[in-house]
Chain A
Amino acid sequence: MPIAEMKKVKIIFYKEHKEKVLDVLQRLGAVEIEEVSTREETGATTDIENKLADMKFALDFLSRYDVRSKEFWESIYGEKHYLSFEEFEERIRKIAFGKLAGNARELEREIAETKSRIAQLEAEYKALEPWKGKGVLLEVLWRGTDRLEGFVGTIPAQDFESFKKEVEAATKYAALVEADVPQNQPRLFALVYLKEEAGKVQDVIKRFTITPVSLPQRKGTPEEAQEEILKEIEEKRKWLAELEKDAQELARKIEDVQLAFDYLSIQRDKEEAAKRLFETEKTGLIVGWAKKKDVGRIKKVLEGVAREVEVIVEDPKEGEEPPVALENRRYFTKVYEPVVWLYGFPKYGTVDPVPWLAPFFFVFFGMCLGDMGYGIVLALLMFWMASHAPADAEGTKRFLHMLGVSAIAAIGVGIAANSWFGNLPEVLHIGFIARIKEKLMITDPLKDPMPFLGLSLALGVVHLFLGMFLNFFMVAKERGFVEALFDTGNWIVFLFGLVLLAVGVGRFPVLIRAGEYIAIVGAALIVVGVMRKEKNPILGFFRGLLALYGVTGYLGDVLSYARLLALGLSTSAIALVVNIMASLMAGVKIVGPIIFVIFMLIGHIFNLAISTLGAFVHTLRLQYVEFFSKFYQPGGREFSPFGIRTRFVIFRT
């Protein structure tokens, strides 16, 4: 059955066996431990969480200094290490966790400090630039001497002259030096005066809008100070290079850090799980969920831990909501599970939509991409990428397979719709392929879109009816046939009548007759359905008539499927344009053919990318908006068993 049957599992044990039980449970990876809602969260982090954070930091830091060349697939899927449990534990024992993390932190701190010091020095150097050649002695300005004091500041250009005059007027001795600043900036100046005249100087300063500037606290002339700074910068840069070499040395051990990170993650998960135990003085209890088919194995392994460990298996009670695991066995169905992953799992006990939507996704994607060449390329690409996915990238692999399988549909549609990389065989003047292409074609939507449109809408109608039937059976199961009839059955009848009408118009008068009658019966059922729920029969009758207005919603739904034509057409049309434009360029002397090939590659790759994206998104949207809305009940919780979750290690059994 597509939604796995779940059982409640209760594990009772003596506290002395707690560690072993948790260990075994984690390795099994088959039981989801229930959240204990009453437990309070303490804000404090545990020791393991701290260590894990340190290790994560070390990981991020060292990855920047990791100079090893990565294998192509490793850079896409991430680095993985394949070890057995024993090998893993061996290596963990040899790792000095504290030292690794500690060294990483220290290095990082020092590198950061050095970098910031260099930045500071560079800023100091820059600050002294305007003063080059002005002959000031810096220490006089910021420290002063026994008798002299200094002040450095900026003043708006237009005030400078008056300021100068006033200072000269107010003091016996004052030296004013101007620094070099760009044209429209405030003037930068240094003022040296007698300490005893400080008051008078301050008065003058206050009368202008002057902003004080602090100069680097160095000795000597600006040039001398700058030389000193340069020497310091040189030193610091050398030191930084040393530090970075040390980091690269340490980064050689990054594999150890990765293993340590995974080890700590496993411990942390175990700690989390331990929080969910019920404990008395001597015993412990774990309550959780497991798939019915795993129960036998769980019992055997756990009860093997000790004689006093007991596993009790129960059925879910009324009102309980077990977690949901999808269990589609056939390959063609399984590959479409990602559609449900993205949207939300179904409620436990309701319909698993995957087997129903699989053929429609397949066909619709095929129609939207609609080109044989693109279908082949996409399928090959997807399966190739999937074959190189590591064992723990199950989700990604499934998704790639989903696209790969759906691309095969595009091959079929492309052949039927006369689209082999657009009209490539004709453009290349490969006569015999072009003839095969034409022979295999059923309809060319670029010449006459109507058949393709008709097919799209017809498939849409089938899709919608399927959704309604699924709803009908679901409601019938839950609330009985009568409820289902007046909820969905009536609409099915009514719409079926309308469909017969639409098909029969102009062609088969007998269908018009049949359609009319069936539609009227359906409409009556709809009106009655509303009247059943209404106390006042007259009000109910009019409400019922109003409900018939809902037919426009279904009409909109059907029209939505016209996008299959539009998307399929656009793929072929763009391919055509690429071919035409490339051929135009092929006429150029000598380089023509080269340009032709390059243009074709770029053009078709581009078209493949956007057409695939559009096909995927719109096909998905048809499932979600038009199909699911008829019957699907999301809200299920994904089954997430307590197990070993690692980022870098894949355990060989």
Chain B
Amino acid sequence: MLTLGFALAVGGAAIAVALAGMGSAEGVGIAGQAGSGALTEDPNLFGRVLLLQALPGTQGIYGLIAGFFIALKIGLIGGSPHGLSVEQGLSIFFAALPIALVGWISGASQGRTSAATIQMITKRPEELGKAMVLPAMVETYAVFSLLATLLFVINIPVK
């Protein structure tokens, strides 16, 4: 049976996927612009550029995972929808906010960092390792927010 609480929980899952995905889309897009510039100078850098461009994509994946977690928990996937109270639904909605918001903002931030490291490897192609670590540092916060969301969601009593 569909309740308002259930709808709110779905809203949480949706927001996690959507906002985190937006962040990654923006980030990967920004990095891609820098990558195009790098490749006009030296097309041989393609493999490395592609890799660096993909780094900000993590937030979208984390959002998806958070969304799945919630969907599973509330029976949206793989089961029947639980009749959630408004309080339960709202709790889940709020629990989804960390990965949603942090994924959104950090995706773009990581994208800008990736763009900068792409420029770095046009001058120093051999420093791919360092070029990957710098954007990965931004990801730390996305990881923390995913952790928070997952921990919160797991511990919200449902049923």
B-binding residues in A (CB < 8 A): 342-344, 447-450, 453, 552-553, 555-556, 559-560, 562-563, 565-567, 569-570, 617-618, 620-621, 624-625, 628-629, 632, 634-635
Is B39 part of the contact surface with A, judged by Cβ < 8 Å?
Answer: no
Inter-chain contact A628/B129, CB cutoff 8 Å:
yes
Smallest beta-carbon distance A459→chain B, Å = 16
Main secondary structure on chain A at its contact with chain B? helix
Inter-chain contact A624/B51, CB cutoff 8 Å:
yes
Is B26 part of the contact surface with A, judged by Cβ < 8 Å?
Answer: no
Binds A, one of B7-15, B29-37, B85-93, B135-143: B135-143
A344 CB contacts on chain B under 8 angstroms: 126, 128-129
A624 CB contacts on chain B under 8 angstroms: 51, 128-129, 132
- Name A559's contact: one of B72, B132, B143 (CB within 8 Å): B143
With A342-B48, A449-B68 already in contact, the answer to whether A563 and B61 are too (CB < 8 A) is: yes
Inter-chain contact B132/A556, CB cutoff 8 Å:
no
Is B113 part of the contact surface with A, judged by Cβ < 8 Å?
Answer: no
CA distance A135 to B77 in the complex (A): 84
A563 CB contacts on chain B under 8 angstroms: 58, 61
With A620-B51, A621-B55 already in contact, the answer to whether A634 and B64 are too (CB < 8 A) is: no
With A565-B65, A624-B132, A629-B133 already in contact, the answer to whether A559 and B147 are too (CB < 8 A) is: yes
Smallest beta-carbon distance A324→chain B, Å = 13
Smallest beta-carbon distance B60→chain A, Å = 9
CA distance A343 to B133 in the complex (A): 13
With A344-B126, A449-B68 already in contact, the answer to whether A625 and B143 are too (CB < 8 A) is: no
Inter-chain contact A448/B51, CB cutoff 8 Å:
no
With A448-B78, A621-B55 already in contact, the answer to whether A555 and B143 are too (CB < 8 A) is: yes
Inter-chain contact A449/B128, CB cutoff 8 Å:
no
Q: What would 15 more interface pairs be, CB under 8 Å, given A556-B143, A556-B144, A569-B64?
A: A342-B48, A450-B72, A552-B144, A556-B139, A559-B146, A560-B58, A567-B61, A570-B64, A617-B54, A620-B51, A621-B54, A624-B128, A624-B129, A625-B133, A629-B129
CA distance A450 to B65 in the complex (A): 11
Smallest beta-carbon distance A507→chain B, Å = 16
Interface size counted on chain B using CB atoms at 8 A: 28
B64 CB contacts on chain A under 8 angstroms: 566, 569-570
B144 CB contacts on chain A under 8 angstroms: 552, 556
What are 6 A-B pairs with beta-carbon distances under 8 A?
A: A342-B48, A344-B129, A552-B144, A556-B140, A562-B62, A617-B54
A621 CB contacts on chain B under 8 angstroms: 51, 54-55, 132
Is B157 part of the contact surface with A, judged by Cβ < 8 Å?
Answer: no
Inter-chain contact A449/B133, CB cutoff 8 Å:
no
Interface residues of B in 50-89 (CB under 8 A from A): 50-51, 54-55, 57-58, 61-62, 64-65, 68, 72, 77-78
CA distance A620 to B65 in the complex (A): 20
Interface residues of B in 107-147 (CB under 8 A from A): 126, 128-129, 132-133, 136, 139-140, 143-144, 146-147
CA distance A121 to B16 in the complex (A): 64
CA distance A566 to B146 in the complex (A): 14
CA distance A570 to B144 in the complex (A): 23
- Name B126's contact: one of A555, A559, A635 (CB within 8 Å): A635
A342 CB contacts on chain B under 8 angstroms: 47-48, 51, 128
Smallest beta-carbon distance A490→chain B, Å = 22
A617 CB contacts on chain B under 8 angstroms: 50-51, 54, 57
B55 CB contacts on chain A under 8 angstroms: 621, 625
Closest to B146 in A: A559
B58 CB contacts on chain A under 8 angstroms: 560, 563
Inter-chain contact A562/B78, CB cutoff 8 Å:
no
Chain B CB within 10 A, most for which of A449, A552, A628: A449
Inter-chain contact A447/B48, CB cutoff 8 Å:
no
Across the A-B interface, the 6 shortest Cβ-Cβ residue pairs: A556-B143, A617-B54, A566-B61, A342-B47, A563-B61, A447-B78
CA distance A650 to B144 in the complex (A): 55
CA distance A553 to B57 in the complex (A): 19
CA distance A553 to B58 in the complex (A): 16
CA distance A340 to B51 in the complex (A): 13
Smallest beta-carbon distance A185→chain B, Å = 38
CA distance A625 to B133 in the complex (A): 7
CA distance A326 to B147 in the complex (A): 40
CA distance A344 to B128 in the complex (A): 8
CA distance A549 to B91 in the complex (A): 29
A569 CB contacts on chain B under 8 angstroms: 64, 68
B54 CB contacts on chain A under 8 angstroms: 617-618, 621
Smallest beta-carbon distance A399→chain B, Å = 9
CA distance A359 to B73 in the complex (A): 34
Smallest beta-carbon distance A346→chain B, Å = 11
A556 CB contacts on chain B under 8 angstroms: 139-140, 143-144
Inter-chain contact B61/A634, CB cutoff 8 Å:
no
Closest to B53 in A: A617
